[in-house]
Amino acid sequence: MRRILILATTAALSPSLAMAQKVERLEEIEVIATSPLAAPDTGAERAKVPAAVHTIDSREIAETRQPDLALALARRAPGVAIVDVAGNPLQPQLDYRGFSASPVAGTPQGVAVYQNGVRINEAWGDVVNWDLIPSIAIDRTTILGANPIFGLNALGGAVSLDMKNGFGWQGFEADARFGSRMRRQGSAQYGVLSGPWASYLALEGIGDNGARYFSTSTVRRLYGDIGYRGDRAEFHGTLGLASNMFGATGPAPMDLLVLDPRAVYTTPQTTKNTLAQVALNGAFDVSDTWKAKANVYYRAFDQAHVDGNTTDFTSCGAATLCDANGTATSIPDFLPGAPYGVIDRTWTRSRTAGGSAQATNTDQILGLGNRLTLGLSYDRGWTDFHANEQIGAIQPNLVVAGLGFIVNQPANDVQPVSVRANNNYLGAYALDALDATDRLTVTVGGRYNLAKIALYDQFTTALNGGGTYARFNPTAGATFKLTPDMSLYANYAEANRAPTPLELGCADPARPCMIDNFLVSDPPLKQVVSRTIEAGARGGFALPDFASGKFEWSAGVYRTLDSNDIMNVPSAITGLGYFVNAGHTRRQGVETSLSYRDETLSAYLNYTLTDATFRDTILLGSPNNPLAMALGASSIMVTPGAHLASVPRHRIKAGVDYSITPQWKIGGDIVYTSGSYLRGDEINLLGQLPSYALVNLRTSWQATKDFQIYGLIENALDARAMTFGTLFNTTQIAFASFTNPRSVSVAPPLGAYVGAKYAF
């Protein structure tokens, strides 16, 4: 998003009038990214975008004082919520309109994410690692509804990030804070402009002991940009680095959390992420009406994951362990009678390279304004994935201690895995916006996606396979200006996503696999296709007698129908699961927002309704669902109208920041989220998790022009917010007396922080 202020001057006709030259404000234009390479100068005027769009700039991100972009969006953006699957707030799963952008491998991804035009959904599983993005280096974030121009995974929408550079940000800023749970957080950014050259560098570091046992986290990330600007061209070279370590605690049984809110259910659970990304991009003014952009990039992502779990292997009185059916295996019975567990380890090494090019033309057609955008993109990814499972013993503190024996039981679908996956994604798109009248703009376009995926088993040939998926996704819409400050919009869009290598390797209920760990040779899945219609209105107004600033508002409705939606479901074998096409699902809702800003006050209020349901009768695996267990089954029959799990129906967000004096500012926000159904309870038998409201307070004192001190209180009411829930087997650990099958993730309790910022 780029705001362009157009000014007009009234020139003098006489010497006396010349002294009274008047400058008056005519119009403020907000430019929105309508394609991955559009921002900031080749996008569309906000009033002419025929779909819901929300932008948050660096100032608004800074006001939330959040350590992560996804957490900042959850505070400000309509329709965005956090689902805490990993159990660590620094590894959030973003939910938008019931679709996910998650760091958890195996989560179906329905949101495409771009950084400076580079797709950052990882090659393995299309996951989004928000922890790799330095939030301080973000200039603006744009969230759009379903839009095929953004390629694969844009089923529910897309997030486009424009990063800072030295042409737009100069100076130096350092920020440090300390507080609850030994939070240590610091950041620094520096930008300089020298003639046609500019450079920018941002550093962020976070250390946190976590709100639960074994949840210590360390985040270190860097972003840099070197740019050159000539008369008709601009070039940038960027670098991104990160090295992060998380204690990912995951959900814990409600019975256990009642006794100790910091408890975890089986550990170790750790994740280490490292990233190195380099990119080159350029923008060219080919002529007065033609602009071109292009980028190339290379992205290296590595992840090591350790996960202690329960297991169906048990001591059965023989010299070896037995499986769930009582059949003896080749695993030695190291500790007869002991409660056994396993430690699953995975190593993911992904490399992605690619590029894109786009041309925009603004020649008139028959005297009418027109903007034509043409683009191409190519992304190639290759991943080496390795996994094994070590037998262990579950200790009284629920820590799994490894016994050094690697499980290799093909008959039980548990064996070491080594596989290479190749992704080839090709996209071609066109988008044309015609100003049919001075009020009506009609936009049509589409994108062709071609995805080729191949799997190569490094041990045998069992995992060899893959698939080719192709589709053209159209879009068409219109906007109409009722008044200079109010416009209506309506749009239809289709989008698709191909099954990931991870999903393709684990799609047979008869041969389940550890979702993030083990793969088996399975039949292919169908690609997911979404069809979205939406309509709404937006605008702004001022109340001169009431306030000096301006109000901005938007209100819209949408409906998205997915066909062949892909879901991961648990198997009857503990710790294993598989992916399945789940027929048709529907997500529909309402999004509204109102904001105000002047020199001393900024405030906002958002409300979102999300109704996400199944539209077909389908059999889903859910062995820990009480109904399935009562019937001696491992699956549940989901009927049309049942609500999707983990999608809250209502979300309300409000916030305010007010300058009491030029030096002293106070503020706060509240996020209300209604309850959602537990994963594994897609028949909606067990009721919803409780609704919750998180209240956050902040204040700052500008001691000098360059120096500021501030304080934060997170979750000021100390709410025990249950943000995610699932089901587990209460009898899996013999010495633990669990009766409630619900397992939940709880938001961190009250936290207090103090910090200081120096800037010039």
Tell me the domains of the chain and their CATH numbers. 33-759 (2.40.170.20)
Give the span between the Cα atoms of 343 and 711, in whole angstroms. 41
Query: Lowest-pLDDT range, 47-51, 457-461, 660-664?
Result: 457-461
Tell me the backbone φ, ψ of residue 317, rounded to 5 degrees. 85, 0
Beta strands 157-163 and 111-115: pairing type?
parallel
Condensed to tens digits (0 to 9), the pLDDT of residues 557-576 reads: 999 999 988 887 666 665 56
| 306-344 per-position pLDDT tens digit | 999 888 888 887 789 998 888 889 899 999 888 999 999
Measured from the Cβ of residue 555, the count of other Cβ atoms closer than 10 Å reads: 17
Residue 218, strand partner residues: 207, 245
Tabulate helix, strand, coil % of the chain (nearest 5).
5, 60, 35
Q: What's the confidence (pLDDT) of residue 576?
A: 62
- Which amino acid type is present at position 552? E
- Rounded to an integer, the average pLDDT of 498-505 is 77
Q: Tell me the chain's radius of gyration from C-alpha atoms.
A: 27
Reported in sequence order, the residue ranges of 333-416 that DSSP labels E, i.e. its strands, are 340-361, 370-394, 400-406
Would you mind telling me the total number of residues written for the chain in this entry?
760
Q: What is the mean pLDDT of residues 37-49?
A: 80
What average pLDDT score do residues 423-447 get?
96
Whole-number Å distance between alpha carbons of 140 and 130: 15
Tokens for 711, please give them. 């304080």
In this prediction, residue 10 carries a pLDDT of 37
CB atoms within 10 A of CB 753: 18
**Torsion sign (Cα): 120, 122, 123, 127:** negative
Task: Output the CA angle 491-73-43, nearest 5 degrees.
Answer: 45
* Distance between CA atoms of residues 326 and 385, nearest Å: 32
Contact 37, 234 (CB under 8 A): no
pLDDT, average across residues 445-463: 87
40: confidence class by pLDDT, cuts 50, 70, 90: low
What's the whole-model pTM score? 0.92
Residue 691 pLDDT > 60, yes or no? yes
- Find the Cα–Cα–Cα–Cα dihedral 346, 347, 351, 352, rounded to 10°: 20
Quick one: DSSP state of residue 688?
B
Indicate whether 25 pLDDT > 50. no
Q: What percent of the chain has pLDDT over 70?
A: 92
What are the counts of helices (DSSP H) followed by strands (DSSP E) for the chain? 6, 44
Name the β-bridge partners of 393.
340, 401
Query: What number is the average pLDDT over the span 197-211?
Result: 96
pLDDT band at 5 (very low <50, low <70, confident <90, very high): very low
pLDDT tens, residue by residue, 82-128: 888 888 888 999 999 999 999 988 788 999 999 999 999 999 889 99
At 710, the pLDDT band (50, 70, 90 cuts) reads very high
Of 5 and 187, which is predicted with more confidence? 187
User: In the predicted model, is pLDDT for residue 510 greater than 80?
Assistant: no
What's the confidence (pLDDT) of residue 353?
Answer: 97
> Are the CB atoms for 230 and 720 separated by under 8 Å?
no
Is residue 526 over pLDDT 60?
A: yes
